[in-house]
Structure 1
């Protein structure tokens, strides 16, 4: 909820139509309904099961099963798009960004939180379902991706310490005996071997 609120705070205004991309079980969509009337909120997710749950959790919003890289909306349909920690999974992130730009009205805004990985191997990429094309590791390259799609006024905030700092510290502090038992199987992918950067972005169409 706090992350959704942080992204919403980046929107210059809270009116018009908003699209929640990769809404999961509807927690983010439910949060949007506190700021937008139900008829203004559309949410999509690729999983039919999650869409069914999201419809229950966010009554009134239009929740649709849809691929984020193949948006079945007309050009210039939305005033804002929000996407919470999902773009790195899309095949590809660049395809999603292009689609987001297409369905945004002139002057519309895309806000998202995303994860950039450094030291991310192909094997781990396959294991965690992150397309290799999405293995962008630095903010400068990330900015270029959005600019190439047509976005202007690109703003990126590194929120790693606020959002992942505690998780990292817990991995480092985890007793060696527990790590030896294999109970920290994610340590190599999300801990010291790989540096994750959670970022919040504001992109004006």
Structure 2
């Protein structure tokens, strides 16, 4: 289970970053703090459940996210389209503003979602690099990275076990390593990755500052953080400040709300169709306002984007070398 490429060598305790030992066929344990993690049949769970007692309010939010995405995974499986639904992002449609993608998706499922990934990657060098997708969902981003850019290795980390089980079942063992984990407590050693990817996930993290610090910690010097998020207008400047305080330098910060709205318009027909998630009775009952969750036209989230109250920001940030300024070797 842990023989995936060289990635298991960089795995550490989520909480204290101590060395892990395999105490049995089903458990890993930290030598330092004695935290225990479970080895499932298809993945490793690196959630330290002791945090539930230490931070109950934060864990209630996280458990809510796990329930929502588990329900989505179940609904997609029952609908018969689960194997095609590898993306859950809003997507991107080109318009008159500046474009950054160096390749275009052709004849692909989920074209708008792939386009969103390609836009945030832009000219960032991926080939031969070690990449982690935090909040990887159903693995669409990682599959597209291998198709278009040929990274050396990829890790997918998500807090929802249903997502990771799905990804692990579809992935080739030599290609990617998926595990259950918390974005605020990333279970990898310092400077493990050249590229950190985070698409439409950070809004669900109770402690944004802690996530940014973790992204900085696991990046190698010269590495790039590729980041998109739908945020309230008044949060945009605050998030940039927190990113810079974590040690990251902003090299691109683009408002692409208009492109995302165009994609929401295009996606609406599919998502409200007979097999669309918006018409799934179980998802609607268990997730609450499913229309707002996927930003259908007319939903609160969609209308707030349209009115400028929410902005979809696309950012590239770099972990600069401490003693040099000309260090954008990955950008």
For 1:93, the equivalent position in structure 2 comes to 208
Structure 1: how far apart are the matches of 2:167 and 2:229?
Answer: 21
For 1:46, the equivalent position in structure 2 comes to 159
Q: Is the 8 A contact 2:134 2:156 kept in 1?
A: yes
Structure 1: how far apart are the matches of 2:204 and 2:130?
Answer: 25
Q: Is the 8 A contact 1:153 1:203 kept in 2?
A: yes
Paired residues, what number? 175
Instruction: Quote how far apart the aligned CAs of 1:139 are.
Output: 3.0
Q: For each residue in 1:51-110, what CA deviation from the matched residue of structure 2 results, as whole angstroms up to 9, or x when unmatched?
A: 010123332200111111100110000001111111111122221111000000011110
Larger radius of gyration: 2
Q: Is the 8 A contact 1:154 1:201 kept in 2?
A: yes
Q: For each residue in 1:181-200, what CA deviation from the matched residue of structure 2 results, as whole angstroms up to 9, or x when unmatched?
A: xx996446314357321111
Instruction: Quote how far apart the aligned CAs of 1:36 are.
Output: 2.5
Q: TM-score of the superposition, structure 1-length normalised? A: 0.76
Query: Which stretches in structure 1 are left out of the alignment for 5+ residues?
Result: 119-136, 172-182
Equivalent of 2:301, from 169, 181, 190? Answer: 190
Structure 2: how far apart are the matches of 1:100 and 1:91?
Answer: 15
Query: What is the root-mean-square deviation of aligned Cα atoms in Å?
Result: 2.6
Structure 1: how far apart are the matches of 2:187 and 2:135?
Answer: 14
- Asked if residue 106 in structure 1 is aligned to residue 221 in structure 2, the reply is yes
**Structure 1: 4+ residue segments shifted above 6 A:** 168-171
SS of the residue corresponding to residue 197 of structure 1 reads: strand
Q: For each residue in 1:147-171, what CA deviation from the matched residue of structure 2 results, as whole angstroms up to 9, or x when unmatched?
A: 0100124421100001124647999
Q: How does 1:173-188 map to 2 (within 5 A)?
A: 186=292, 187=298
Distance 1:23 1:193, change over 3 A: closer
Structure 2: how far apart are the matches of 1:41 and 1:200?
Answer: 21
Distance 1:40 1:140, change over 3 A: same
Structure 1: how far apart are the matches of 2:315 and 2:153?
Answer: 22
Distance 1:100 1:196, change over 3 A: same
Structure 2: how far apart are the matches of 1:184 and 1:3?
Answer: 21
More strand by share: 1
Query: Which stretches in structure 2 are left out of the alignment for 5+ residues?
Result: 1-113, 269-288, 293-297, 320-331
